[in-house]
A = this chain, B = another copy of it.
Amino acid sequence: MQKVKKKEPTALETLKDLISRNREFDIIDLFSDMHPADIADLIDELEEEDRLHLFSLLDVDKASDVILELSDTSREQLIEDLSNEKLTDIIEEMDSDDKADIIAELSDDQAKAVLEAIEPEESQEVQELLKYADDTAGGIMQSELVSVRKDATINDAFQAVADAKDEIENIHNIFVVDETDKLIGTVPLQSIITTKRFTPILDIIDEDIPSVLHDMDQEEVARLFKKYDLVSIGVVDNQQRLLGRITIDDVVDAIQEETSEDIYRIAGLGEDDTVFNNTTESVKKRLPWLYLNLITALASVLVIGFFEETIKLMVALVFFMPVVAGLGGNAGSQTLTLIVRGMALGEITFENAKRALFRQIAVGIANGIAVGIVIGIIAYFWKGIPILGLILGLAMIISIFTGTLVGALIPLALKRLKLDPALGSHIFLTAFTDAFGFLTFLGLATIFLKIFHL
């Protein structure tokens, strides 16, 4: 990576220099040798006013690759500024899945204009794809694929690949269908190369390779790719008719997207938040979560309010309140994170969840006792109040145990309710562990202080 890292800033500096000197031909020359993904990285780094200018220097073919690789922010801005004609030319160069994705990002007027301007056949194809939900197999599939009938020979398969040469990239498999277009199986290119030319394709077909229904969640699709080490998969309708294919590059994007979503939800963030959003957007996205946090935090205010008298009796209790709540929260967040991630990876299902839950209960008890004893002793020696050590130790055991248990239960319950398990975010977990921690700690203190008439 040293190579790339040292080169990129230089390319950016060169580019900025060329822009300042208005050397358009040199810029075109610089771009001509570069990969679209690298050009996109450069354009992303420029000031907003330079982006459209630079982008307009690209020929249509390259522009169509580059626009797909831009960051969401720069792409949105470019799309707003481009004329409908230019946009149509660029979109016509794309694969069907990318066409659909971009058109979905357009304003209603732009989308209508583009769909009317591109070829009718393509327009219909895209409108078919746009029917599928974003995060399903249909939403990430493309219509471009190579298929042959089941009575074809290897030679026919060769011919089919040759025919598709200019139209379709990334051919890894050939799909085999029957006369009603039902998917029967797939043949990797590797097998075609190593088989005699007039062998029937049915002789080398792999019928075990799974296909997916168009409405399968993209997370499930990703799991299948990972489980069976696939590079592409056929997408079928309810009659097993072949609709399109999903390639691994789109699956990798889907994995990253789903993972970010999980991580962001755990932390209480909107899914499309980034640190480069402008301030108003970021505030709009994060403030609702903070207000939610504020409401849940008021539970703690209420709980502590009950114990005003106890606190007045022993102010030293206040010093340790955050310790009880904080450790309960962190123990819970350890478990919650493990369960949410395990579910995302498909390792935790309802079948084995009970085993997971029992283990978490045991871990909660053990960790609770281990931390409780230590903090009890610390508090005793530090403040010289034996009863404080006892109360704190006991409260800590209960708090860590409960935190661990609730950290496991929240995502399992959400999943059972068919909600996203990651929604059981830190905000809800810590609201609970805070309020419950204070209740246990101050409650125990009230009882003990009464018993010992302090």
Contact = CB atoms under 8 A, between A and B. Distances in A.
Contacts of A279: 359, 362-363, 366
A393 B252 CA distance: 45
B311 A315 contact: yes
Interface in A84-99: none
A277 interface: yes
Contacts of A208: 35
A150 interface: no
Q: Which of A251, A334, A351, A426 has the most CB of B within 10 A?
A: A334
Interface stretch (A49-57, A75-83, A179-187, A264-272): A264-272
Main SS of the interface on chain A? Answer: helix
A301 interface: yes
Contacts of A35: 208, 228
Nearest to A366: B283
Given A252-B226, A279-B359, A294 B371 contact: yes
Interface string A241-267: 000000011011101100110111011
Contacts of A333: 267-268, 426
A298 B283 contact: no
Interface residues of A, number: 124
B253 A226 contact: yes
B283 A370 contact: yes
Interface string A386-424: 000000000000001000000010000000000000000
Contacts of A256: 226, 255, 345
A278 B326 contact: no
Interface in A332-379: 333-339, 341-342, 345, 347-348, 351-352, 355-356, 359-360, 362-363, 366-367, 370-371, 374-375, 378
Given A323-B297, A342-B274, A347 B162 contact: no
Contact of A231 (B172, B190, B293): B172
A194 B151 CA distance: 22
B318 A1 contact: no
Interface stretch (A16-24, A109-117, A284-292, A443-451): A284-292
A381 interface: no
Given A193-B189, A264-B341, A371-B291, A427 B220 contact: no
A216 interface: yes
Contacts of A37: 227-228
A255 B257 CA distance: 12
Nearest to A212: B1
A322 B341 contact: no
A370 B287 contact: yes
B334 A286 contact: yes
Contacts of A323: 294, 297-298, 300-301
Contact of A330 (B220, B352, B426): B426
A322 B319 contact: no
Contacts of A248: 231, 248, 252
B330 A289 contact: yes
A396 to B, nearest CB: 9
Given A4-B210, A165-B194, 15 more contacts: A161-B190, A172-B189, A192-B193, A225-B252, A255-B255, A262-B263, A263-B263, A268-B333, A274-B347, A279-B363, A283-B367, A289-B330, A294-B371, A294-B374, A297-B326
